[in-house]
Structure 1
Amino acid sequence: MIPTPDLSHLSRDDYDQVYEPAEDTFLLLDALEEDAESLKRSKPTICLEIGSGSGCVTSFIGNILGPSVLYICTDINPHACQCSRWTGKQNKVDIHVVNGSLATPFKHRLARKIDIIVFNPPYVPTSEEEASGAQSSQDIDGAWAGGRDGMQITNTLLNCIEKLLSPCGRFYLVALKQNDVPGIIRRMHEAYCLKGEVVHQRRAGREHLFVIRFAREQ
């Protein structure tokens, strides 16, 4: 079993500003652990986590794949960027963090070069105004407010994924049942020829969470 990254350096004050790892985080870690051997065999060179928050997920991937991979994170929340750097250092993973929205800083420079993309998005259905305001405020609300159907932020990224993934790349997405998981999979296949499948799911209280893995059709 791959250990959960050490987060003992983060305080309650940090979690007042940054999303604290919860059931959705641990579901994603479980999915990545199940894919650990195949991820190693694919010999990735670039890993991008979007909305890294505490830095837990990228540190976990770093413990699977080791130092040969370039680990990049983005987050709109400046404090989350700092926490991700701290967590990487705490767990001996060299994480390069960019304060920015989604994959915008890399959509041209790293087009079709990213081997692993991970996104645990703001998936809670809210008003579109609340989601837009949360993104603009660049604080912890941006970690959960997802707009109409919880897909407002996710849809923006989905339109960019095909242009970012390397030929053998994988994209891991966390979704809520209300986000219409079959619809997401169908749309990505019809629009971009990316094959998606649910690789892990779990009920957490009233939420039914999924991890969807996408890859190019071979």
Structure 2
Amino acid sequence: MSGPSFPTPDLSHLNSSHYKFVYEPAEDTFLLLDALEKDYRFLETLDPLFCVEIGSGSGCATAFLGSMLGSRSRAFFCTDVNPKAASATIQTAQKNSVAVNAVLTDLTQALQPRLNGQVDLLVFNPPYVVTTSDEVGSRSIEAAWAGGIDGREVIDRTLPVVNELLSPGGVFYMVVIRENRPEELMDLMRSRYGLESQVVMSRRAGQEGLSILRFQRPARS
């Protein structure tokens, strides 16, 4: 059964001058929104209290979640290593009437260990593009896409963090491309951290084979 449909967040406050420094929502962003919308009933039942988006960029995904789930009685945290992205996230949240805490930090360092074991909904559209290692580590727009070898260098740093942050019933959504070897990622998360996974949605965008993976701990019997 399909759930209700929700509008794409209003991003009219952002323009080409912003997108010189902040990742502009593209096919990967919209696939993530579609996957979250597809999972609306599941997320409604989950009723997440603490929601975190890693690398929020424009803030589009969290604004969408806030509008979809309602921001009352929820805490939305967005992190980004790029100061201009953190600023854009705040502007997008305000434009869409969603209360967001934007934190300037690498991955989730500033949130840990305070939120360890408490995050019910974790979202990450990582820098997944295959590049050389020396392109990784920027604090500007390159941080949004440069993923290093196999596009996995930032992703692989994040996986232990996911295990630390998720609450017992928490769920993690991540965007990947074929070159990231998603099946290997899914096997690793199961064998190392006991997190089950599935592909929520896939789509081809130009040369990229995009997928949204969902990870969660198995239900206790």
Please give the TM-score of this superposition, normalised by the length of structure 1.
Answer: 0.97
Secondary structure in 1 matching 2:126: coil
Q: CA deviation at 1:200?
A: 0.5
Match of 2:26 in 1: 22
1:72 counterpart letter in structure 2 = F
Matches of 1:177 and 1:72, distance apart in 2: 29
Shift of 1:107: 2.3
Counterpart-to-counterpart distance in 2, 1:150 and 1:85: 28
- 3-state SS, counterpart of residue 169 of structure 1: strand
Query: CA RMSD for the aligned pairs?
Result: 0.7
The C-alpha deviation readout for 1:69-120, integer Å capped at 9, x for no partner, is 1000000000000000000000000111000010111220011100000000
Q: Which runs of 5+ in 1 are unaligned?
A: none
Aligned pair partner of 2:45 in 41, 48, 57: 41
- Tell me how far 1:2 sits from its aligned partner: 0.3
In the other structure, the counterpart of 2:168 is: 167
Checking the alignment, whether the CA contact within 8 Å between 1:128 and 1:147 is kept in structure 2 is yes
> How many angstroms does 1:68 deviate by?
2.0
Tell me how far apart the structure 2 counterparts of residues 89 and 52 of structure 1 sit (CA, whole Å): 14
Distance 2:178 2:112 in 1: 29
CA contact (8 A) 1:107 1:160 kept: no
> Is 2:117 the counterpart of 1:112?
yes
Cα displacement (A) at 1:41:
1.2
5 Å-filtered alignment, 1:154-193, equals 154-193=155-194
1:5 and 2:9 aligned: yes
**SS in structure 1 at match of 2:29:** helix
Aligned pairs (5 A) from 1:31-70: 31-66=35-70, 67-70=72-75
Q: For structure 2, which runs of at least 5 residues remain unmatched after alignment?
A: none
Q: Is the 8 A contact 1:25 1:57 kept in 2?
A: yes
Question: Separation in 2 of the partners of 1:195 and 1:209?
Answer: 20
Q: 1:213 is paired with a residue of what secondary structure? A: strand
Shift of 1:144: 0.3
Q: Distance in 1 between matches of 2:143 and 2:82?
A: 8
One-letter identity of the residue aligned with 1:211: I
1:101 lines up with 2:101 in the alignment:
no
Amino acid at match of 1:62: G
**Would you identify which runs of 4 or more consecutive aligned residues in structure 1 move more than 6 Å?**
none
Deviation at 1:7, TM superposition (A): 0.1
Using the aligned pairs only, state the percent identity: 46
180-189 or 34-43, which moves further after superposition? Answer: 34-43
Matched with 1:129 is: 134
SS at match of 1:20: coil
- Number of residue pairs aligned between Structure 1 and Structure 2: 214
